[in-house]
Structure 1
Amino acid sequence: MQVIKDVQPDLGLSPAEEARRAQIIAATMATMAELGYRRTSYARIKERAGLSSTRLIGYHFGTKAALIQAVVTTAMSIRDRYLEERAGGTTDRAGMLRALIETEVTFVRDHPECVRVLREVAANADDADGWPVAGPLLRGFRIGRIERLLIQGQREGAFGEFAPDVAARTIAQSIDGAVQAHDEDPSLDLDTYGRQLADFFEQAVAAKR
């Protein structure tokens, strides 16, 4: 099992403790991606991580909520790095929107485990022992980021007049549609899918000349 390197370090932890935390997070993500949120027990995580006891999970994270928070933070960090690596040099708003859409779509292919984990956490936000803000955070983060980009583009004259909250939600739901399409057909060409989706929305939000 590969230890995830995108885990945010905690102040005061030794290198060994940080490595153990990363190992547990990686095992949790792999288990959740394979078995789903509800079947991801401490016993399953212990088995996948090769730990001697489930008590080590409680020692490093304290509560299930803290573990889920670390998992979500890690998955989102991986997604943000993926976007930055592929679109970090883009400066114009239309290009940024295109890059965001295309990379969100191809992220489904290149990091399927992260996608499944984030979907599982969002779908099980009612878990009383989980991280209570995970559901609202995951539902609002992507939409909020797209909406802010659209608003800034409107202010700069790059985009036309439309309701940015409606457009942002529509774009996010279309990206979710790509996830579903890929679930149904894993051979789907996501590069083409993302490019065509970006073409559509780039034209839809463009300022009228």
Structure 2
Amino acid sequence: MQVTRSPASESRRAQILDATIAVVAEEGFARATFARIAARGGLSSTRLISYHFAGKGELVAALVEHVVTGIGAHVGERVTAASTARGRLAAYIEGVVSYADAHRAPMTALLRVAMAGAGGASMQDAGDLSHLERILREGQEAGEMRDFDASILATTVQRAVEVVPFRLQAESDLDCRAYAAELVELFDRATRAEA
């Protein structure tokens, strides 16, 4: 059932989500208490959080959904514009890396939630690699890519791109375009059909 919220309610929820993302990204999941989130968001009381979210679980699920939706829109647009499976794989890699670069706090927060084993079903949905496996299988069926286990390769690609937020924390001036280009070359060579 779709819940209809007023613009003021949506605005407050967005304010709470932004504060949650900031606290989780900067201080870690365990330290993301309603008190810290309220302070970060400039809220007068933690009751404002409780009014909009039934508990920390619902708040974290909303955080995961918010970030995953953003990634999906950013990456999906690039992937659907590519005309070949090899192009879609490159677009996926470049899209995730560029999103991580442009949205550092949300990506860091998402990965901290995952590392904490939180997020429940929403985190399991975020880890779904079927879209990436589909790109790889389409490449194999089209003869663009060699025979390999698409599940293993999809997992390997995903792990290579999801480490970017951690690299950015350690190396804030990381050249993400060069990083993505290197990954594109690596995985293109690993998957390409022999001429």
State TM-score, norm by structure 1. 0.84
Whether the 8 Å contact between 1:121 and 1:134 is mirrored in structure 2 is no
Unaligned runs of 5+ in 2: none
Query: What is the CA distance between 1:50 and its match in structure 2?
Result: 1.7
- Aligned match of 2:125: 137
Residue 196 (structure 1) aligned with residue 182 (structure 2): yes
In 2, distance between residues paired with 1:182 and 1:51?
Answer: 30
**1:17: Cα distance to partner?**
1.0
Structure 2 CA distance for aligned equivalents of residues 180 and 14 of structure 1:
37
Q: Give the whole-Å Cα distance in 1 for the aligned partners of 2:62 and 2:162.
A: 23
Does the CA contact (< 8 Å) of 2:104 and 2:165 recur in 1? no
Deviations 1:74-106, CA, capped at 9 Å, x for gaps: 011121222245444222111110011122222
TM-score (norm 2): 0.90
Alignment-derived partner of residue 171 in structure 1: 157
Matched, 1:151 2:137: yes
Secondary structure in 1 matching 2:144: coil
| Superposition map of 1:1-209 within 5 A | 11-125=3-117, 131-138=119-126, 140-141=127-128, 143-209=129-195
SS at 1:115 equivalent: helix
Distance 1:49-1:180 versus aligned 2 partners, 3 A rule = closer
SS for the counterpart of 2:82 is coil
Asked if the contact 1:93–1:158 (Cα under 8 Å) also holds between the matched residues in 2, the reply is yes
Cα drift, residue 201 of structure 1: 0.8
- Which stretch shifts more, 12-21 or 67-76? 12-21
Amino acid corresponding to residue 20 of structure 1 in structure 2: R
Aligned residues, how many? 194
Taking a change above 3 Å as real, the CA distance of residues 180 and 19 of structure 1, as seen in their structure-2 partners, is: closer
Q: 1:56 to 1:184 in 2, by over 3 A?
A: closer
Rate the CA distance shift 1:60–1:144 in 2: closer, same or farther, 3 A.
Answer: same
Please provide the CA RMSD for this pair. Answer: 1.9
- Cα pair distance change 1:177/1:21, threshold 3 Å: closer
Q: Find the residue that maps to 1:133 and give its secondary structure.
A: helix
Give structure 1 stretches of 5+ with no counterpart: 1-9
- Compared with structure 1, are the counterparts of its residues 179 and 61 closer, same or farther at alpha carbon in structure 2 (3 Å cutoff)? closer
Moved more, 116-125 or 178-187: 178-187
Determine the C-alpha separation between the residues in 2 that align with 1:58 and 1:86. 37
- For the 8 Å contact 1:153–1:159, the answer to whether it is kept is yes
